[in-house]
A = this chain, B = another copy of it.
Amino acid sequence: MTPDDARAPDTEPAGIQILPLRGAPEAQPGADLAAMALEAAATSAVSLRAGDILVVTQKVVSKAEGLLIDLKTIEPSDIALRYAQQWGRDPRQVEVVLRESARIVRMDRGLIIAQTRHGFVCANAGVDASNVPGEDVVCLLPRDPDGSAARLRAELARRTGLELAVIISDSFGRPWRQGIVNVALGVAGMAPLADYRGQPDDFGRVMNSSVLAVADEIASAAELATGKVDRTPFVVVRGYPYQRADGSGAQILMRSADDLFR
């Protein structure tokens, strides 16, 4: 190894870092997410810094908030029974999906694409049977993901003295493209959209359609460090110069009824 080789790791820029926090235990109802995140950070040798973004999966937030439903307690409605029978699905799970839906967008071939009460459009209104304990248990989305993110952020600030941003993420399908990607369900401490409208481009002209959903891009970046079958509910994204914002949340990532695509 030459002196130049030895120096290389110090002189290379760090860029943006995506740091998975390993070793979190299974979350129980009432779990202290801030304590879990700080323990996982310690286990992973990651010292949180001011300006870090903590990305938390929806599943761990929902479990801590006790949003697990025992399907044995669910009485399916007639439509749930008929649809489940037609497509070989569990009528109790279809019933929970319908209860979580504000609007059915598509319902065909056993799938249900629904708009949730929050306004998200996703498969099964976010009702999910993977990575939950028990055969007859499903998990719901957090009732108020922006509120959950804000509470976690405040608790982390109280314990560490650090100003962080928090994003609660989930995997959503998209029209027109294969595969799911992680998006932001809840956001606290940062502006979810970066608005470049009105800024001149490289040639001095004003850009018209350049509002970037950076919270979704951060959620996607964090997913790369988790791996679906690893138990990694917490990821730190470090070095992204987000716009600090206290009152903002993921709610503004939902399109209004004037959505051309809808």
A residues near B (Cβ < 8 Å) are: 8, 11-20, 26, 44-47, 105-106, 108-109, 111, 113, 120-121, 123, 129-135, 171, 173-183, 192-194, 196, 199-203, 205, 207-214, 216-218, 220-221, 223-225, 228-229, 231, 236, 240, 252-255, 259-262
Which of B192, B193, B229 touches A201 (beta carbons < 8 Å)?
B229
Q: List 14 A-B contacts (CB under 8 A).
A: A18-B221, A105-B261, A133-B203, A176-B261, A177-B183, A179-B192, A179-B214, A179-B216, A181-B220, A199-B229, A201-B228, A212-B223, A214-B224, A221-B224
With A16-B225, A229-B200 already in contact, the answer to whether A108 and B181 are too (CB < 8 A) is no
Residue of B with least CB distance to A9? B10
A254 to B177, CA, bound (A): 5
Across the interface, name the chain B residue whose C-beta is closest to A105: B261
Q: Are A217 and B220 in contact (CB under 8 A)?
A: yes
Contact of A177 among B47, B220, B253 (CB under 8 A): B253
CB distance from A6 to the nearest CB of B (A): 12
| Residue picked from A181, A194, A231, most chain B C-beta under 10 Å | A181
B231 close to A202 (CB less than 8 A): yes
CB of B181 within 8 A of CB of A217, answer yes
CB distance from A75 to the nearest CB of B (A): 24
Give Cα A238 to B9, complex, Å.
Answer: 13
Residue numbers in B under 8 Å from A211 (CB-CB): 178-180
CB-defined contacts of A218 to chain B, threshold 8 Å: 224
Q: Are A202 and B131 in contact (CB under 8 A)?
A: yes
Q: Are B255 and A175 in contact (CB under 8 A)?
A: yes
State whether A201 touches B18 (Cβ < 8 A). Answer: no
**Contact of B220 with A254 in the complex, beta carbons under 8 Å:** no
A8-B47, A176-B261, A220-B220 known, 4 other contacts, Cβ within 8 Å: A13-B44, A15-B225, A16-B18, A179-B192
